[in-house]
A and B are shown apart, each in its own frame.
Chain A
């Protein structure tokens, strides 16, 4: 019995470690360092990106050649950063509200997930330069779209937002609004369709995509004014990781200069619609 148990334990362990090798299909294979033949070249390192890939066109899943791949313009930027650092990019997809925790505990090196650098967040992480300016969209049921013309129309209404997102802060400013904060966007859409919330506030490009795909919801005419510092999105690294931050800022400056970022946004939006 004891022998059998330990045998079982060992065999399970072996299979487990084998499975552990290939459980993430969206991470590139490990690099082979041929130390023997290489001249003292730059060491290949890995750069781990944390993101919440349910946020088209920023980052989302897409079937490409029958393979589930994480794409989006945030991901393109991450690839460029990794390229500039001569590092291997690894992507870890998780819930949005787990991102900063993962950064803090060293599970990931950086977070790119349509993050707005708020004062609150700056206490816990360091942010790069702003790489993109967003605007907010308000999704409502199509047959109720007439009732939502301006921000005042949201007063006292039931509003859905993503937990831990910048929109949560916006919604908290609205007088008498009852908020529903959920982890994932599709869950919010369900809340709206079933009438449990009257409106959802989310990034305009994301809102647009849902309005196209779902016939019974629409983007309302509500405009939400934001100061520039609140509309920008940037990249988060662990507090004090100045070295990585400098490299990231370098890449952002290069991409802004060449207009690459705008091109990524357009491409990502096209990819969503396919």
Chain B
């Protein structure tokens, strides 16, 4: 196997742009997924059973089906209902839905890990249930959950490569583009691999720093 990376002189912008789109997709997926995740987590711990049931069903279905299938259904399947999303939006929606289900579980675990005594103390000080959750429980839970949220971000960066199937010019898609332009199948994959690793590794270092800061 003799590798030749000569094409990089001409094609590095394509890889860079792809990496940028990957980060864009992942960022929106995680940001929106976090918001939705909080919502579903709160629904799951609600005392009103239909709400609880709805959230549980959603989470189970999303976590129990492959992301690739979800991407296809969102991009192609929804047109049957008159919803015709452009590829980038389809990609973000798929990542959002996927990460929101996992995030919801992270949040729920985080909220349930806070000692019941905290809520009880807040309630006996006269705070309502909602206020106790908002001012006492959630801030503490959030701090414990940061590592898990960061992990989800890393997972989403890797999973976003699946979105290349619907034709968004992210890193994986662009790597395949370079494959077919240069007629060299192996090297572009190695470059993509390295770029993915740089992204995820940088992120996990940043998270480690953040965690140390929060702990001190």
Contacts and interface: CB of A to CB of B under 8 A. Distances in A.
A170 B193 CA distance: 35
B177 A95 contact: no
B166 interface: yes
A63 B174 CA distance: 12
- Secondary structure at chain B's binding surface: helix, strand, loop or mixed? helix
Contacts of B10: 63
A227 interface: no
Which A-B residue pairs are the 10 nearest by beta carbons? A213-B183, A54-B180, A186-B179, A94-B167, A105-B79, A186-B185, A23-B88, A190-B185, A61-B177, A189-B185
Chain A contact-residue range equals 35 or more
Given A68-B14, A212-B183, 7 more contacts: A5-B35, A12-B28, A12-B32, A61-B177, A68-B177, A105-B77, A186-B185
A185 B167 contact: no
Nearest to A27: B86
B134 A1 contact: yes
A102 interface: yes
A101 B14 contact: no
Contacts of A5: 35, 38
Contact of B138 (A1, A24, A106): A1
A53 B138 contact: no
B28 A53 contact: no
A184 interface: yes
A185 B180 contact: yes
B87 interface: yes
Contacts of A228: none
Given A1-B138, A25-B169, A56 B185 contact: no
B123 interface: no
Contact of A98 (B35, B165, B169): B165
Given A16-B28, A61-B177, A66 B13 contact: yes
Nearest to A95: B165
Contacts of A20: 86, 88-89
B181 A60 contact: yes
Interface in A81-140: 92-95, 98, 101-102, 105-107
Chain B contact-residue range equals 35 or more
B186 interface: yes
Contact of A102 (B76, B80, B89, B186): B76
B182 interface: yes
Given A5-B35, A24-B169, A213 B138 contact: no
Given A12-B31, A24-B169, A94-B165, A214 B180 contact: no
A9 B179 contact: no
B92 interface: yes
B84 A107 contact: yes
B74 to A, nearest CB: 12
A184 B32 contact: no
B179 A184 contact: yes
A62 B7 CA distance: 12
A180 interface: no
30 contacts: A1-B134, A5-B35, A5-B38, A8-B35, A12-B28, A15-B28, A19-B24, A23-B88, A24-B86, A25-B17, A54-B179, A56-B180, A56-B181, A56-B183, A60-B180, A61-B177, A62-B181, A63-B10, A68-B17, A92-B167, A94-B166, A98-B165, A98-B167, A105-B80, A107-B75, A184-B176, A186-B176, A186-B184, A187-B185, A214-B183
A193 interface: yes
A193 B180 CA distance: 15
A69 to B, nearest CB: 10
Interface in B87-123: 87-89, 92
B62 interface: no
Interface string A159-194: 000000000000000000000000011110110010
Contacts of B127: none
Contacts of A15: 28
Contacts of B186: 190, 193
B21 A53 contact: no
A168 to B, nearest CB: 19
A68 B178 CA distance: 10
B183 A209 contact: yes
A16 B184 CA distance: 35
Interface string B137-152: 0100000000000000
Given A12-B31, A106-B84, A53 B177 contact: yes
B166 A98 contact: yes
Contacts of B182: 213
